[in-house]
C-alpha cells in the first residue's frame, strides 16, 4: 500500500497573526510538510523568535524570497500578504500552468471577480484583474462542488465568512430581497499584528467602536457569493447594509443579520437552515444563543435563528476570525482541492474557557 500523498507547503507572510495561525495548524497536518516561511521586515529571524509558543515545534527561519522564487520548491503556496501584494505575486507567476504550485490566497485580492467593484472596495485599481477568474471562492458551504481539483483558491474574508453563513440558506431558498441590515463585532487580531491608534490596547480594551459603517470591503464579496449560490432566486433589490464594530477582545467575530420576507414560518426557516447545513461538518445550527467561547480556536461556525413578534427574524453567526475566518478555512480549502477529507488536520474542540 503506497504512502499517502504529502505536499510541501510555503506560507508567505508567516510573521503576521493570520500567517502565524496558519503555521500553527500546518505544523500538525498529517499530509503537509511546511518547508518554507517568508516575511518582509522580519526576514532572517527564526519563526519561534517571532512566536515563542512554537519553540520546540519548528526550526524554520523566515526568508525574504518572493512567492515566485519559491514556486519550484513547494507544491502549495499560502499567501497571507497585505492587500495588493498577493495579486502582484500571482501576476509574477502568470496563469496556472504545469509545474506551478497550488495557491490559496488568504488576502482580499482574488475574492471579487469584477475589477471595478474591487477597486471601489479597496480604494485602488486591481494589479492583475485578468487573473482573478482563475480563482475559486473558497467558502466550502457554497462552492463545495467547485473546490475539488481547484488550483487557485480565494479564501473568504473573516466578516464575509460569518455574514455569508448567516444568509446562505435564505439565498438558496429564495428568501433574500431588498436591504438586509447587519451588525457585527470583531476582535483586535483582525486588524493585524502591527499596532495602530485604534488597535492599541488602551484604546480598545474598554471600548466598542463602529468603523466603516455601510462601507466595509467584505460586503461586495458576500453579496457576490450569495447571488451566485442563489442562482437567480436572490432579488434584484437585495443589498447588505452592514455596520461592523471593534470589540474589546482578541479573537472572534459575532454577526447578526435581519432579513425580511423569508418564505414560510419559523419552522420552515429553521428547517431550511438545518437542511442546508446538514452535511456541512463545520457549521452547527444551535437552539441557544451563539457565543465566541464555543468556537474560539476552531474551524467551526455556530448559527442561531431568533424570532420575534410580527414575524421578526434575526440570524446570528459566531466564528473565530483567525481560524474559521482565515487559517483553518484555508486548510479546509486545500483539503477539498486535493480530494482529502475537509476536516483533515483541523478538527478541534474549542478552547476552554
CATH code for position 113:
3.40.50.720
Q: Tell me how far apart the alpha carbons of residues 6 and 32 are, in angstroms, rounded to a whole number.
A: 5
pLDDT tens digits for range 137-184:
999 999 999 999 999 999 999 999 999 999 999 999 988 999 999 999
Q: Is residue 201 part of a domain?
A: yes
Same structural domain, 170 and 315: yes
Please report the pLDDT score of residue 4 as a whole number.
Answer: 56
> Which residue ranges of the chain lie beneath pLDDT 70?
1-4, 263
Same structural domain, 191 and 312: yes
Residue 212's nearest CA partner among 249, 248, 241 is 241
Same structural domain, 107 and 168: no
Residues 6+ apart with CB under 8 A from 313: 258, 259, 260, 262, 266, 269, 305, 306, 307
Same structural domain, 41 and 96: yes
CA 155 to the chain's CA centroid: 5
Q: Is residue 144 part of a domain?
A: no
Residue 332's nearest CA partner among 14, 10, 25, 6 is 25
Which cell goes with 153?
Answer: 483558491
- 70 forms beta bridges with none
Range(s) of the domain holding residue 170? 159-321
What is the per-residue DSSP string for 96-122? Answer: --TTPPEEEE-SSTTS-S-HHHHHHHH
Please report the pLDDT score of residue 325 as a whole number.
Answer: 98
Q: Is residue 32 part of a domain?
A: yes
* CATH number of the domain that residue 191 is part of: 3.30.360.10
pLDDT tens digits for range 41-68:
899 999 999 999 999 999 999 999 999 9
Backbone angles phi, psi at 342, to 5 degrees: -55, -35
Same structural domain, 124 and 270: no
Q: Which is it for the CA torsion 169, 231, 147, 191, positive or negative? A: negative
Q: Is residue 151 part of a domain?
A: no
Residue 12 designated active-site: no
Same structural domain, 130 and 164: no
Same structural domain, 189 and 97: no
Same structural domain, 256 and 317: yes
Same structural domain, 170 and 124: no
Q: Is residue 140 part of a domain?
A: no
E strands in the chain: 7-12, 32-38, 76-79, 102-105, 136-137, 152-154, 179-186, 209-210, 239-246, 253-257, 283-286, 301-307, 313-319
Same structural domain, 86 and 225: no
Q: Is residue 28 part of a domain?
A: yes
Q: Is residue 154 part of a domain?
A: no
Q: Which of 12, 71, 158, 317 is catalytic?
A: 158
Same structural domain, 223 and 296: yes
Please report the pLDDT score of residue 43 as a whole number.
Answer: 96
Residues 6+ apart with CB under 8 A from 333: 104, 138, 140, 147, 150, 153, 155
Q: Tell me how far apart the alpha carbons of residues 71 and 249 are, in angstroms, rounded to a whole number.
A: 37
Same structural domain, 297 and 249: yes
How many structural domains comprise the chain?
2
- Is the pTM higher than 0.85? yes
Q: Is residue 331 part of a domain?
A: no
Amino acid at each position: 500500500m503506497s504512502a499517502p500523498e504529502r505536499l510541501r507547503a510555503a506560507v508567505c507572510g508567516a510573521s503576521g497573526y493570520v500567517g502565524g495561525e496558519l503555521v500553527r495548524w500546518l505544523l500538525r497536518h498529517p499530509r503537509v510538510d511546511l518547508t518554507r516561511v517568508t516575511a518582509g521586515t522580519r526576514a532572517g529571524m527564526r519563526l519561534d523568535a517571532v512566536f515563542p509558543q512554537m519553540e520546540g515545534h519548528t526550526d524554520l527561519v523566515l526568508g525574504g524570497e518572493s512567492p515566485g522564487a519559491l514556486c519550484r520548491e513547494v507544491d502549495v503556496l499560502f499567501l497571507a500578504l497585505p492587500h495588493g501584494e498577493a495579486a502582484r505575486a500571482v501576476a509574477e507567476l502568470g496563469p496556472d500552468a504545469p509545474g506551478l504550485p497550488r495557491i490559496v490566497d488568504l488576502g482580499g485580492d482574488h475574492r471579487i471577480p469584477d475589477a471595478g467593484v474591487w477597486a471601489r472596495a479597496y480604494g485602488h485599481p486591481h494589479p492583475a484583474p485578468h487573473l482573478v477568474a482563475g480563482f475559486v471562492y473558497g467558502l466550502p458551504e457554497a462552492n463545495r462542488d467547485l473546490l475539488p481539483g481547484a488550483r487557485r483558491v480565494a479564501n473568504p474574508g473573516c466578516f464575509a465568512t460569518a455574514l455569508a453563513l448567516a444568509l446562505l440558506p435564505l439565498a438558496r431558498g429564495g428568501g433574500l430581497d431588498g436591504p438586509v441590515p447587519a451588525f457585527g463585532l470583531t476582535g483586535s487580531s483582525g486588524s493585524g499584528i502591527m499596532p495602530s491608534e485604534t488597535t492599541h490596547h488602551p484604546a480598545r480594551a474598554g471600548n466598542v467602536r463602529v468603523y466603516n459603517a455601510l462601507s466595509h470591503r467584505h460586503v461586495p464579496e458576500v453579496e457576490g457569493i450569495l447571488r451566485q449560490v442563489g442562482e437567480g432566486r436572490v432579488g434584484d433589490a437585495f443589498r447588505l447594509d452592514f455596520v461592523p464594530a471593534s470589540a474589546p477582545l482578541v479573537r472572534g467575530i459575532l454577526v447578526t443579520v435581519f432579513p425580511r420576507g423569508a418564505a414560510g414560518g419559523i419552522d420552515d426557516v429553521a428547517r431550511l437552515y438545518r437542511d442546508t447545513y446538514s452535511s456541512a461538518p463545520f457549521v452547527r445550527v444551535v437552539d441557544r444563543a451563539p457565543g465566541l467561547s464555543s468556537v474560539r480556536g476552531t474551524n467551526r461556525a455556530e448559527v442561531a435563528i431568533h424570532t420575534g413578534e410580527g414575524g421578526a427574524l434575526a440570524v446570528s453567526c459566531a466564528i473565530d476570525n483567525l481560524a474559521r475566518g482565515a487559517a483553518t478555512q484555508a486548510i479546509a480549502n486545500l483539503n477539498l482541492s486535493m480530494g482529502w477529507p475537509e476536516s483533515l488536520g483541523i478538527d478541534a474542540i474549542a478552547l476552554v474557557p
